Amino acid sequence: MKKILVTGATGFLGKYLVQQLLKDGCTVYALGRNETAGKELEKQGAVFCKGDFTDKNTVAPYFKNIDCVIHAGALSTVWGKWEDFRNINVEGTENICKLCIENGIERLVYISSPSIYSGMKDRFNIKENDFDENNDLNYYIRSKILAEKIIRKYHSIGLYTVILRPRGLFGIGDTSLIPRILAANGKIGIPLFNGGKNYVDITCVENVAYACVLASKAENINGEVFNITNGEPMEFQKILEMFLAAVGEKPKYLKLPFSPVYRIACILEKNYRKKNKPGEPALTRYTVCTLAFSQTLDITKAISKLGYQPIKTLSEGITDYGNWKKEN
Taking only the tens place, the pLDDT of each residue in 250-275 is: 999 999 999 999 999 999 999 999 99
Taking only the tens place, the pLDDT of each residue in 18-29 is: 999 999 999 999
* pLDDT tier, 328 (very low <50, low <70, confident <90, very high otherwise): confident
- pTM here is 0.96
Average pLDDT of the chain is 96
Helix, coil or strand: residue 328: coil
CA atoms of 79 and 85, how far apart (whole Å)? 10
**Phi and psi of 294, rounded to 5°?**
-75, 140
Taking only the tens place, the pLDDT of each residue in 40-67 is: 999 999 999 999 999 999 999 999 999 9
Query: Which neighbouring-strand residues pair with 297?
Result: 126
Cβ atoms of residues 185 and 252 within 8 Å = yes
For the chain, percent of residues with pLDDT exceeding 70: 100
What pLDDT score was predicted for residue 155?
98
Domains of the chain, earliest start first: 3-171+202-229+297-311 (3.40.50.720)
* Residue 26 CA neighbour count, 13 Å, CB half: 27
In sign, the C-alpha dihedral spanning 298, 72, 184, 241 is positive
Taking only the tens place, the pLDDT of each residue in 62-97 is: 999 999 999 999 999 999 999 999 999 999 999 999
How many Cβ atoms sit within 10 Å of the Cβ of residue 88?
A: 21
| Residue 175 reports pLDDT greater than 90 | no
CA angle (187 as vertex; 184, 191 as ends), nearest 5: 40
Indicate the residue type of 88. Answer: I
